[in-house]
Amino acid sequence: MGSSVLIVDDEPSVCQLLSNRLKHEGFQCRTCSSAEEAAGLAQEKAFDVVISDLRMPGISGLDLLEIVRKKHPRTAFLMVTGVDDVRVGIDAMKRGADDYITKPFQLDGVIAAIERALQRKRLEIEVETYRENLEQMAEQRTKQLHIAMKRIEGTYDETLEALGAALDLRDTETEGHSRRVSRCCLEMAKKMECTGEQLKQIARGSYLHDIGKIGIPDAILLKPGRLTEEETAVMQTHARVGYDLVSRIAFLAPAAEIVLTHQEQYNGTGYPQGLMGQEIPLGARIFAVADTLDAMTSDRPYRRALSLAVARAEITRESGRQFDPEVVRVFLSIPDHVWEKIRLEVAGARLFSTAIRSAFASTAPSVGLPAEASLVPPRMSEVL
């Protein structure tokens, strides 16, 4: 079907002339003798082309141009001017007309102008469609990327859980401790304006801080009494052993420095390097406070858990010695209920996983235990 053309001219003979020729060329033509009538028609129907006289009684061709442009930006609009009105024709193009035609008509020229305008519109539509497709494609790819990233994060969590579980098998005391310390570190780190990436590394590094204990012989790791000097030296290698292990895993490499430096003390009396003050990575300085808080408020074979008030007093006393004063300040600003909530949540998760483990062991041993990772809410990526 040919393109639809609306011809607007107050002189019926002009409408007739154009209409006859255009029909002959295969166009579908409608004619109007005023811009008002054309404006009404344009409200109902989108024409491919409008050819309008500039000067008409009532509203002018320029007014009609504005009306048509608003409603149908894809319609090709040709303004008809007298030979003396060329400047007005150019003005019409500035206002959105695609071309202008001068009277008296050269009909071949009119056809060529229409074809040119239609071709231009087609190109505009193609470009617009291409842009829209591109946007859609980019949006789709971004979504796919997010899904892939989420999957990778999930794999990271599972790797962390597996490493943690490996240590738990050797030293059951560390299980809840690692989780609690990691959560406590996050609470403080969030108040210290750490970036999202820093938070991630602090959470991972503090969770794995004692992973090097995997390499410590049972006779030392599980010894109930006091360690000899030699045994202590072996025990202290766990920071370096942990670092060597974790730094080889690409996504954990930035967290490895916390594993290496988690036993350093602010005043330089820690190990393995005896770092001082700001030489110690921020994550490890935060960890030192979280570790003491958790150790003091946990039951030990030789004493019951101490209260948060006692822990607060001890941490305050060690500010500037064992601990970074700035971290201590942030720690003190966090209310007790935050620490209590972390302890309860981690305890709840452990009880839950133990219950599930025994349920599976007694009813369907062949089914096996679902991944421990999925039983330990919240996961690293959920906390962050």
Which residue minimizes CB distance to Fe ion? 210
Q: Minimum Å distance from CB 259 to Fe ion? A: 9
8 A C-beta contact, residue 153 and residue 360: no
Q: How far is the CB of 320 from Fe ion (least distance, A)?
A: 22
Handedness of CA 20, 23, 27, 30 (dihedral sign): positive
Binding to Fe ion by CB under 5 A, coded x per residue (else -) over 232-271, reads ----------------------------------------
Q: Which is nearer to Fe ion, 48 or 210 (CB)?
A: 210
Minimum distance, C-beta of residue 368 to Fe ion, in the bound complex (Å): 32
β-sheet bridge partners, residue 49: 5, 76
- Smallest separation (angstroms) from Fe ion to the CB of 204: 15
Q: Does the footprint of Fe ion cover residue 294 (CB under 5 A)?
A: no
Give whichever of 174 and 198 is closer to Fe ion, judged by the CB atom: 174
CB 148 to Fe ion: min, Å: 35
210 or 318: whose CB is closer to Fe ion? 210
Interface of this chain with Fe ion, residues 193 to 212, rule: CB under 5 A: 210
Of 42 and 288, nearer to Fe ion (C-beta) is: 288
Nearest-approach distance from CB 294 to Fe ion, in angstroms: 12
Write down the least CB distance from residue 344 to Fe ion, Å: 24
Q: How many residues bind Fe ion (CB under 5 A)?
A: 1
CB-wise, 80 or 167, nearer to Fe ion?
A: 167
Instruction: Kindly tell me which of 183 and 238 has the beta carbon lying closer to Fe ion.
Output: 238
DSSP collapsed to 3 states, the chain: CCCEEEEECCCHHHHHHHHHHHHHCCCEEEEECCHHHHHHHHHHCCCCEEEEECCCCCCCHHHHHHHHHHHCCCCEEEEEEEHHHHHHHHHHHHCCCCEEEEECCCHHHHHHHHHHHHHHHHHHHHHHHHHHHHHHHHHHHHHHHHHHHHHHHHHHHHHHHHHHHHHHHHCCCHHHHHHHHHHHHHHHHHHCCCCHHHHHHHHHHHHCCCHHHHHCCHHHHCCCCCCCHHHHHHHHCHHHHHHHHHCCCHHHHHHHHHHHHCCCCCCCCCCCCCCCHHHCCHHHHHHHHHHHHHHHCCCECCECCCCHHHHHHHHHHCECCCECHHHHHHHHHCCHHHHHHHHHHHHHHHHHHHHHHHHHHHHCCCCCCCCHHHHCCCCHHHHC
Nearer to Fe ion (CB atom), residue 79 or residue 260:
260
CB of 303 to Fe ion, least distance (A): 20
Tell me how far CA of residue 212 lies from CA of 164, 173, 183, 246, in angstroms.
11, 15, 20, 9
Instruction: Kindly state the smallest distance separating residue 263's Cβ from Fe ion, in Å.
Output: 5
> Please, which residue, 174 or 267, has the CB nearer to Fe ion?
174
| CB neighbourhood size of 244 (10 A) | 15
Q: Which is nearer to Fe ion, 77 or 207 (CB)?
A: 207
The binding site for Fe ion (CB under 5 A) comprises: 210
